[in-house]
Chain A
Amino acid sequence: MSTTEQSSPASHPAKPAMNGAQGRMLWRSFLDLLPAMLAPFFGIAAALGIIFGILAWQGADPQIAWDYLYQGTLADAAKRADLVAYWMPLAITSFGLVLTYTAGLWNIGVEGQIVMGAIGATWGVRLFAEGEPLLGLNLGHTGILFMCFVLAAASGALWAALVGFLKTRGGVNEIFGGVALNFIAQTFNMYLVSNGGPWQPAGSRATETARFPEIARLDAFAEYRRLSPATIYITVGAMVLVFLIMYVSRWGLQLRAMGKNQRSAFLLGVRTERNIVLSLAICGALAGIGGAYRVMTPDVSKLTATPSGGVGFLAILVVLLASMSAVLVPFVSFVFAMLSKGGQRIESGFQWDHDLLLDRSLVRVLQSTIVLMVVLAFGVRNRFFPPHRAQPDTDEDEVART
């Protein structure tokens, strides 16, 4: 999916005479992008339709499910703030994945990179805020939080770079390397916080660390205690960074070239091995920060047994459904966040609402149905509205000029 043409300065006509042709090209690339933009919404509508159909068939009022979904996500300002807090780790991880997927790298290991980020952030807390600080450094509140994020990013980046080195030096496909490293990261995390692990508080039986000391907690908004302004700034910064890389930088163009044909890109002078490691490392750093959000969110402030909660895999779906377009990622990830969050509400709602004799696991069908429907929407698009630029082997220009 080519999405950069319209945002690149190249589209500004160099000569006024080119205006007509360029306008048509812009319009064509917009038409190409349109189905990509609409497909997720079509998928969501279709999935909701199916769920409501099932509810109606079971004799339940579909309106109730909708009400729960709405109540759980958008009903009031506090809910919306919660939703944003839930959305940010997903969004920042998805931004990272845009880079690797554009370069043709299936960074399945992102889940482990989030876990490593969470561990890194917790490590920062332990080094600088608990007991005797490292080297006797008294960093203060801001300094400690900064170091936590740096360590989270570094841990995630290292974990991802390992996938890259395994691929470039060891010939291990990034999918296999990623899956293995996911497993190791999760096991390592469990070791730290369970069964008398080094980070589990003495005497505790909960598989988590103690709550972080006050000095190492993120500041939340006064009225929304789960949302921290710092995370918003970092997420927006990451978004700007990925936008710059994808739409302005030469490096982003190199990644795109690698994604389309790595061999040709290499022969045309792109340092493919270096770019593989680098794009993975940046993605890992962003995923690591996502992991830091997960443990440092003001109402959590501890490392749990499952710090990622599947955000990494969800982010992979987001990026695939957004066709690797950085522009679409915020929207698609937001919709996914809403469904995840709202799904939880529907689930608990069904549990307590005794008028509804429904198995609450039914709700989990919702997310998978959406993915399926969106993929189907793309299929339908490709079948009936084939994108113009994906037309191979035409001799159009050839014949046009003769």
Chain B
Amino acid sequence: MRVELQHISKSFGRVWANQDLSLTFEGGQIYAILGENGAGKSTLMKILSGFQSADSGQIVVDGQAVSFEAPTDAIEHGIGMLYQDPLDFPPFTVLENFIAGRPGGFFPDRQAARGILLDLAQRFGFDLDPDAYVDSLTIGERQQLEIMRLLSLNVRVLILDEPTTGISAEQKAQLFDVLKSLAHDDGLTVILVSHKLEDVIELCSSAFVLRQGRLVGQQQIPCDISTLVAMMFGKIVARQERPMSDLGDCVLHAERISLETRRLVVEDVSLDVRAGEVIGLAGLDGSGQNELVRVCCGLLRPDRGAVHIGGREMTGQPYHRFVKHGVAFLPAGRLEEGLIGGMTLTEHFALTLPSRAPWVNWIRARRTAGERIERFNVKGRPGSPIQTLSGGNQQRFALSLLPSNLRLLLLEHPTRGLDVESAMYIWEQLLRRREEGTAIIFISAELDEIVAYSDRILVFFGGRVTLVDDRADMTADRLGELIGGRM
């Protein structure tokens, strides 16, 4: 199927998100849409998938101009999009999610749907239990479900927004195999929206690069990563090396933590972290990293074991007690559980700035918002509602909200979905905190990030943990083996 976007423009207020963009996608190919945060990639893909409508320009499918009022229209024309945060119904089961949105009258044929689901899962080698609840799945598994759902609706153009963030290396390899097979064997058009140039080079045959709402150019792949970087940023960025620093007292002492969730048994995890230390948690999605992090800030209560913060026993205490003792937690879902959509940046500070007064000091909140926006390079105004910021800016803002003088900072995927420059900026800020004596524990799906910034690494596999503290072992290859369960 051939899809043409012709002279697409879209503005929000007086700002152009897309300006006169013309792109053509052929069947059987895998394309990348590249660009920095806020370059207009997401807007363009939302227009193509019927989620938003363009101000001007048209979409031509196989020579015929079409117009989409809603995502269902786009799906009827064979265009489906997989969002970065999968749009599913967590309280439903896998099968129910699969059925939702399928045509099929008032009484859906559950048996037939189950058959289709299992067939697709088997073809792609996805291991999904149709009766499992979606809120117990990892992002990677929810993504697999969404891909199968779209394919079962006869989608011929599959758009994926940052599909490799938040999923494991293994799931990524599997995803790429599936996408290649869909493009080459089934003739589907696959469009990948991504910041991760390695992924793009590995998977795609051609890349469109956007900058500030305009099309910079189309680049055939294979090519050098630096070529793409140059197109995206106009300059080449490199990862920074972190300086060595002395470690302080023990801030976290976790002793033989064990707990059982519906999906996973975490057993006997012990960890001591000293001030200024950075610990990276690696592992397949859902191997127990998130559970450990949540135990360390009081959001989960371990079945057995003890947690000490700064020498004080804290096991079983509520979250706010941990916060009081200098622990901060930055979750992965920014607008789901980190920030409050609908509130402005100033209001976030008014809410979080420590104060004994019962009233809000708006002047101070506004001043602080202004200062931190400046210091953390957030592109937004104090009065901007948080959801109008792009992902990278939201993450920088979330970081700017954290109090100073933290003992322990826990982060889930701190640079997920960010471009290289934003990710580096985040790490600059984190390393500065480390200099001030804050211990950092972070979860990441990107091994090079873990290798580059961690003093020690915990590798999770099925709830069990291997500690890697020898610099010689800290290579992506060795970690990859451990993550896969090879000791």
Contact = CB atoms under 8 A, between A and B. Distances in A.
Interface in B236-260: none
A401 B379 contact: yes
Contacts of A253: 347, 350-351, 360
Contact of A396 (B12, B46, B348): B12
A10 interface: yes
Interface stretch (A94-102, A184-192, A254-262): A254-262
A398 B384 CA distance: 11
Interface in B12-59: 12-17, 37-38, 40, 42-43, 46
A389 B37 contact: no
A389 B345 CA distance: 13
Contact of A268 (B340, B357, B358): B340
Interface stretch (A105-113, A142-150, A243-251, A363-371): A243-251
Contacts of B359: 248-250
Contacts of B381: 21, 397
A205 interface: no
Interface string B345-363: 0111011100101111011
A12 B346 CA distance: 13
A266 B379 contact: no
Contacts of A25: 383
A171 interface: no
Interface residues on A, range: 35 or more
Interface in B359-374: 359-360, 362-363, 365-367
Contacts of A260: 340-343
Contacts of A8: 360, 362
Interface string A223-255: 000000000000000000000000011110110
A400 interface: yes
B13 A261 contact: no
A400 B360 contact: no
A402 B401 CA distance: 24
Contact of A264 (B213, B337, B366): B337
A361 interface: no
B351 A268 contact: yes
A267 B360 contact: no
Contacts of A249: 358-360
Interface string B117-147: 0000000000000000000000000000000
B363 A398 contact: no
A245 to B, nearest CB: 9
Contacts of B16: 399
B389 interface: yes
B390 A10 contact: no
Nearest to B17: A395
A60 to B, nearest CB: 45
Nearest to B356: A250
B362 A9 contact: yes
B311 interface: no
Given A250-B360, A395-B390, A401-B379, A389 B385 contact: yes
A202 interface: no
A203 interface: no
A279 to B, nearest CB: 15
B338 A251 contact: no
B350 A256 contact: no
Interface residues of B, number: 57
Interface in A356-402: 389-402
A131 interface: no
B80 interface: no
A14 interface: yes
Contact of B390 (A2, A5, A398): A398
Contacts of A402: 38, 212, 379
A264 B341 CA distance: 9
B38 A263 contact: no
B339 interface: yes
Nearest to B348: A268
Nearest to B385: A389
A10 B15 contact: no
A14 B365 CA distance: 11
B346 A269 contact: no
Contact of B17 (A254, A269, A394, A401): A394
Contact of A393 (B46, B347, B348, B351): B46
Nearest to B378: A397
Nearest to B297: A267
B168 interface: no
Contacts of B319: 266-267
B135 to A, nearest CB: 13
B336 interface: yes
A267 B329 CA distance: 8
Kindly list the 9 A-B residue pairs having the minimum CB-CB distance in the complex, ordered from nearest.
Answer: A398-B38, A10-B362, A394-B12, A397-B380, A263-B337, A9-B362, A395-B38, A399-B15, A260-B342
11 contacts: A8-B360, A12-B363, A254-B351, A264-B337, A267-B331, A268-B338, A269-B351, A269-B352, A393-B387, A396-B15, A399-B213
Interface of A: 2, 5, 8-12, 14, 21, 25, 248-251, 253-254, 256-257, 260-261, 263-271, 389-402
Given A25-B383, A264-B340, A395-B390, 16 more contacts: A10-B362, A11-B362, A12-B363, A248-B359, A250-B350, A253-B347, A253-B351, A263-B336, A268-B401, A269-B323, A395-B15, A395-B17, A395-B388, A396-B388, A397-B380, A397-B381
